Every structure is written in structure tokens, then in C-alpha cells.
Amino acid sequence: MTSSNKTDLDPQALEALYGKVGANIEGAHDGRGMRIGIICARFNGGISQRLLDGAFDAAERLGVESADISVAWVPGAFEIPLVARAFALTGNYDATIGFGAVIRGETSHYDFVAGECARGLQDVGLATGIPTIFGVLTTENVEQALDRCRPDASNKGAEALETAVELVQVLRASALSS
Ligand code: INI
């Protein structure tokens, strides 16, 4: 997960906290046995595909079987939440992730598409209790989008898959999942 060096969590401060609180819940990065539904936008589909590649790399690292990942393609980012909801309601998935790119320079309705996709995914997660991850890039230009789906550790698709696994584990550990 990427936050700046100045704002990163200090492991020593965390260690000090452990002794004080009743429960300190963190999600293990262990995806064994998890089933994940991924929804990809065909608009800027080359970006979705690169994010998907990153997600599959991370899945392998964290023990998620590729056979336990389902991928659905939709026209654009605006349509992602509806299919995320359908995945979540089946009861067959531990988490869902949306992949796509909304690029400001390319659209006059950037704010609507990006904002509604983010809001819709959050709504799905809150309504269903299934971790629903916003893996859609929202950038000023194509170069920024390409920069965030390179085939290395900085790939945002990999980050989204890691986030999904971590959230599933946090909910399990805190016994908040239904
Ligand atoms: N969809 C995207 O995924 N990214 C975009 O940048 C984009 N632009 O530029 O408009 C986009 N538009 C399509 C939108 O997601 C819907 O598919 C369309 O409005 C039909 O509902």
C-alpha cells in the first residue's frame, strides 16, 4: 500500500499500542481459499487488462487460486458497481474488485463517471458486507494511468487485490462479517 514516507505507520508506535488496547485487529495477507469477483471496464480496456495482470500476480503471491477468480467485462466504469453488487449477492465471493480508468483529459463527464463508480462500489460494500474494492484509476492523463499499472510492485491492480484479501481477513478477525 502506498502512502508517503512522512505519513507511513511507524511499526514501533504500533508495537507500543498493542500493550494498551483490548484488541488490535490487522488482516493477514493470506488469501488461501478466497474467491474473488473482478469487474473490468472495456473503456480504456488496456489499462483494465494491465491492472488485472497485477491482480493475478498478487493473487499468486497471497495464495488465491486463479480458478477462484471470476472476471466480468462491462462497457465502462459507470457499469462496474451493478455487476459488483450481483457478484456480492450470489454469496459465492469473499470480495469484489472493479478495474478501469477514467481519464480527465479524455472526457467532459469525468466527475460523473469517476464519482458514481466510486460511490456505487462503496454502496455495494456497505450494503452487502462484502469487501468491494475501488481499483479504478482516476487520472489527469493517459501517461499517469499507464504509470499506475506497470508490471512491478507499484501496480494498482496488485494493490487492489492485496486490499481485498486484507479486508476479508480484518472482517474475519473482528468477527464482524456475517
Ligand atoms: N468509462 C470509463 O471507464 N472511463 C472513461 O474515461 C469514460 N469516459 O471517458 O467517458 C467512460 N465512459 C463510459 C461510461 O463508463 C459508461 O459506460 C457510459 O456512460 C454508458 O453508461
Best residue for ligand 1 mutational test, from 42, 113, 142 (most atoms within 8 Å of Cβ): 113
Q: What is the DSSP letter of 144?
A: H
Residue 97: phi, psi to the nearest 5? Answer: -135, 135
CA 139 – ligand 1 centroid, Å: 14
Best residue for ligand 1 mutational test, from 42, 51, 82, 102 (most atoms within 8 Å of Cβ): 102
pLDDT reported for residue 21: 85
pLDDT reported for residue 14: 85
Q: Given the CA of residue 100, which atom of ligand 1 is nearest to it?
A: 3
What lies within 8 Å, CB to CB, of 20 at 6+ separation is none
Q: Which domains does the chain have, with CATH numbers?
A: 34-177 (3.40.50.960)
pLDDT reported for residue 72: 98
Looking at every residue in the chain, the average pLDDT score rounds to: 93
Angle at 101 between CA 95 and CA 29, to 5 degrees: 30
Q: Given the CA of residue 107, which atom of ligand 1 is nearest to it?
A: 9
pLDDT reported for residue 4: 73
Contact 101, 136 (CB under 8 A): yes
Contact 110, 103 (CB under 8 A): yes
CA atoms within 13 A on the CB side of 91: 1
**pLDDT above 70 for 178:** no
Pocket lined around ligand 1, Cβ cut-off 6 Å: 41, 43-44, 75-79, 100-103, 106-107, 109, 113
Between 59 and 26, whose confidence is greater? 59
Give the mean pLDDT of 16-34.
Answer: 88
Q: What percent of the chain is predicted at pLDDT more than 90?
A: 78
**pLDDT above 80 for 74:** yes
Contact 140, 101 (CB under 8 A): no
Question: How many other C-beta atoms are found inside a 10 Å radius of the C-beta of residue 143?
Answer: 11
- Determine the Cα–Cα distance for residues 164 and 131; give it in Å rounded to an integer: 6
CA 106 – ligand 1 centroid, Å: 10
Q: What amino acid positions are annotated as catalytic residues?
A: 109
Between 110 and 41, whose confidence is greater? 41
Of all protein residues, whose CA lies closest to atom 5 belonging to ligand 1? 102
Give the mean pLDDT of 65-94.
Answer: 98
pLDDT reported for residue 2: 60
Q: What is the DSSP letter of 29?
A: S
Q: Given the CA of residue 41, which atom of ligand 1 is nearest to it?
A: 3
pLDDT reported for residue 5: 78
Q: What percent of the chain is predicted at pLDDT more than 70?
A: 96
Of all protein residues, whose CA lies closest to atom 16 belonging to ligand 1? 76
Q: What is the pLDDT of residues 104-132, one digit of tens each?
A: 976 678 889 999 999 999 999 999 999 99
Of all protein residues, whose CA lies closest to atom 9 belonging to ligand 1? 107
